[in-house]
């Protein structure tokens, strides 16, 4: 049987991993803001991550909050909004009317997502540091 001195460390580390993945998706969206073709030959579509809570495998618990065990990335989904149509007759992917379908990526929305992910990452990093300090202080009390 393993004993975890501070379970918040496991929860925060899972959140750090989830936010790191979210930052990677945001960076990918921003990198493809002008990509008119994706791997399948269609217009690039903005991607988002779907998070879910991870619960402990405990029987007979009356407190679901005490059963929280972190967060995980369930899926990466494509944004269903239509591509942006732009008049660019010089573009190699322009149709007969000179219109080009551009990705549905909005830089401001991506920046908000990036700032949110950064703040969540910083908050969880702070929890990890405080948990470590609490564990160090607890060990020092025993000496």
Half-sphere exposure of 120 (CA within 13 A, CB side): 20
Max mean pLDDT among 5-9, 69-73, 83-87 falls in: 83-87
What would the pLDDT profile of 49-74 be if each residue is shown by its tens digit?
A: 999 888 766 555 565 555 667 888 99
Residue 123 lies in a domain: yes
Task: Say how far apart CA 138 and CA 60 lie, in whole Å.
Answer: 30
Residue 2 lies in a domain: no
**In total, how many domains does the chain have?**
1
What domain range includes position 93?
8-141
Residue whose C-alpha is closest to residue 45's, from 82, 11, 13:
82
Contacting residues for 81 by C-beta, under 8 A, at least 6 apart: 46, 104
User: Residue 64: what pLDDT?
Assistant: 55
CA 135-140-143 angle, 5° bins = 135
For the chain, give the mean pLDDT: 86
Residue whose C-alpha is closest to residue 104's, from 91, 122, 85:
85
Residue 3 lies in a domain: no
pTM for this one? 0.79
- How many CB atoms sit inside 10 A of residue 6's CB? 16
């Amino acid at each position: 049987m393993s004993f975890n001195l501070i379970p918040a460390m496991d929860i925060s580390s899972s959140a750090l991993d989830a936010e790191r993945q979210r930052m990677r998706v945001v960076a990918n969206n921003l990198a493809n803001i002008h990509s008119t073709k994706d791997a399948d030959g269609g217009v690039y579509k903005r991607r988002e991550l779907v998070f879910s809570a991870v619960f402990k495998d405990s029987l007979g618990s009356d407190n679901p909050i005490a059963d929280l065990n972190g967060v995980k990335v369930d899926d990466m989904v494509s944004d269903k909004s239509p591509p942006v149509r732009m008049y660019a007759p010089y573009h190699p992917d322009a149709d007969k009317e000179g219109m080009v379908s551009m990705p549905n990526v909005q830089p401001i929305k991506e920046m908000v997502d990036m700032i949110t992910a950064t703040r969540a990452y910083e908050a969880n990093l702070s929890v990890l540091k405080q948990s470590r300090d609490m564990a160090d202080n607890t060990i020092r009390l025993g000496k």
